[in-house]
Structure 1
Amino acid sequence: MRFEADTEIGADAERVWAVLVDVERWPEWTASVTRAERGEPGPLAVGATARLTQPKLRPAVWRVVELTEGREFTWASDVSGVHTRGEHRLLPLPDGRTRVDVAIDQAGPLAGLIGRLYGGLLRRYVRLEADGLRSRCERS
């Protein structure tokens, strides 16, 4: 199952990227995350981890599996028979704005059931993340 949201942000990709990869500050700008703790210091990189606490979901540890500096990162979490990938992509636009695509992709033996039970919540969370990122980046 896949859940997606996108938005255009009135800020350049460098600014958006800086906010996006500062994972520990996500609770400041998205209601979909109440606590975020990095597993190690330093910049976000392949192999880096973060523990996210989200309303109505169990805390989960996410590990970065792909990262193109300044453009995109994907992280993954495995919980209770479901492999979840969270994708974050930036596309600089000609006018200095940035398009952001956020997605959650789930697979595994329980993905269908989880999608039916939590699909509405997950759709809401990717929307909150995209909109919150836009608000934070345009405010500063």
Structure 2
Amino acid sequence: MMLTTSTEARADLASTWAALRDVTDWPRWTRSMTSVERLDDGPLRLGSRARVKQPGMQPLVWEVTTFADEAEFSWTNHSPGVRTIGRHLISPTAGGGTTITLELAQTGPLAGLLGLLFGRRNRRYLAMEVAGLAAASEAAAGR
């Protein structure tokens, strides 16, 4: 199962990256997150881990598995029967804004079943997150 959503923010790349990288602040700008607790110190980087609590779900530990400064990061969660990857990509637009793309991919023997059971909620959460990130980026950029 793969879900993707994108939007454009009227914020520069640096402001968008700052809002994206500060994962503990995400619950402030998206209702799809109840809490995000970093399990290590320092800025988000390859190997960073965080415990994420979302409404209607058990807390899950995510580990950053790809990282490119001011461009993208992905994190992965391994649960029984399913591997989930959340990918967060940003790129500059010609007008000085930022394109934000979020992807959620699930693989493993239970991925299809989970997609049927929770696909609608996952799409709703991705929409909340991309809209929230755009708004947080624009607020940080003063737009």
Do they superpose with TM above 0.5? Answer: yes
Q: Identity rate of aligned residues, in percent?
A: 41
Which structure 1 residue ranges, 5 or more long, are not aligned? none
TM-score w.r.t. length of structure 1: 0.98
Give the corresponding residue for 2:68.
68
Shift in Å, 1:89: 0.2
TM-score w.r.t. length of structure 2: 0.96
Instruction: Number of aligned residue pairs: give it.
Output: 140
Give the corresponding residue for 2:6.
6
Give the corresponding residue for 2:53.
53
2:74 is aligned with 1:79: no
Matched to 1:44, the amino acid is L
Give the corresponding residue for 1:107.
107
Give the corresponding residue for 2:32.
32
SS at match of 1:95: coil
Shift in Å, 1:93: 0.8
Give the corresponding residue for 1:118.
118
Kindly report structure 1 stretches of 4+ aligned residues shifted beyond 4 Å: none
Matched to 1:75, the amino acid is W
Q: For 2:92 and 2:8, how far apart are their aligned partners in 1?
A: 10
Give the corresponding residue for 1:134.
134
Shift in Å, 1:94: 1.4
Q: For 1:52 and 1:113, how far apart are their aligned partners in 2?
A: 22
Matched to 1:16, the amino acid is T
What is the RMSD computed on CA atoms of the aligned residues? 0.7
